[in-house]
Structure 1
Amino acid sequence: MQHSDEQRQNTLAWHETLELHELVAFQSIGLMKIKDAIGKVQDSQLKKLYEQTIQDLEANLKELLAFYSMTPRGEVDERRLDNAFYAGDLLAFAKTAVRNYAIAITETATPQLRNVLTKQLQKAILNHAKVYNYMYKNGYYPSYDLEKLLTNDVALAKKALSMPY
């Protein structure tokens, strides 16, 4: 099926839509955590770094959310956002752990260390699967329903943007 230039300019491709989802979810969770933590930062220079990061993430999210009008959207249940946030944060941690172990293994020259890292990578993969399955079962990560997935992203980003700090 051929798409006209106008269709291509007004509709995101599936692969870029999924990348957009990953960026918005990751930055929304990060923004919420940073806004929550800034009050505990005592060092003025570090506090300025936190403030700049908040401003940058807010600007990023606002720019990225503008592209959601080019994707399908629907309703989201606001009551589920807190559990979804914590589960999403855990999923991001689990995903990053898998990536970090995989990278570390490629840098390992010592067989004993490689064996330990490989064992721990397998545990990280299983943990990721458990967290993902929890999120999927509870409707926090509707990975087979793009409309719901993107709607959840918008709600999470709006919540992160509206948080005071």
Structure 2
Amino acid sequence: MKIIQNLAGLGDMSEQIIAADFLLNAKATVRDYGTILSESSSPEIRQVLRKQLDAAITMQERIQKYMTTRNYYQIYSPSELIHSGRKNNSTYMDLQ
């Protein structure tokens, strides 16, 4: 992994970018399950969707905790969260 990071010129940033991508996808999954659940009328389907939503929320929390413990995600500091998001976006755009 370190070789790929160095070849891409990212150093330790790639782990943060990958984690941020996972977090964005996890948040989108939670949002999508919530939307689908709220629009479903079948009790059986709603029960399945609730389980899927709970699993998605748990995954989002795990990713967020992982990022927070590594100082990749500053959930309790809005200014740091914005700065980190801008930094990740800038790095991502440089890869394009």
SS at match of 1:139: coil
Q: Distance in 1 between matches of 2:12 and 2:74?
A: 13
Deviation at 1:156?
A: 1.9
The superposition leaves residues 110-159 of structure 1 with CA deviations (integer Å, 9 ceiling, x where unpaired) of 11111000111111111111111001011110122334323322322222
Aligned to 1:139: 71
Aligned to 1:96: 28
The superposition leaves residues 81-126 of structure 1 with CA deviations (integer Å, 9 ceiling, x where unpaired) of 2111111111111111111111111111111111000111111111
For the aligned residue pairs, the C-alpha RMSD in angstroms reads 1.8
The superposition leaves residues 58-98 of structure 1 with CA deviations (integer Å, 9 ceiling, x where unpaired) of xxxxxxxxxxxxxxxxxxxx744211111111111111111
**Does structure 1 residue 86 correspond to structure 2 residue 28?**
no
Matches within 5 A, 1:5-154: 79-154=11-86
What code does the residue aligned with 1:129 have? E
* Count of aligned residue pairs for this structure pair: 87
SS at match of 1:86: helix
Listed as ranges, the gaps of 5+ residues in structure 1 are 1-77
**Does structure 1 residue 159 correspond to structure 2 residue 83?**
no
Conserved 8 A contact 2:17-2:92? no
Listed as ranges, the gaps of 5+ residues in structure 2 are 1-9
Q: Distance in 2 between matches of 1:110 and 1:151?
A: 43
What code does the residue aligned with 2:40 have? T
- Greater than 4 Å deviation, 4+ residue runs: none
Deviation at 1:160?
A: 2.6
Give me the TM-score of the superposition, normalised by structure 2.
0.78
Give me the TM-score of the superposition, normalised by structure 1.
0.48
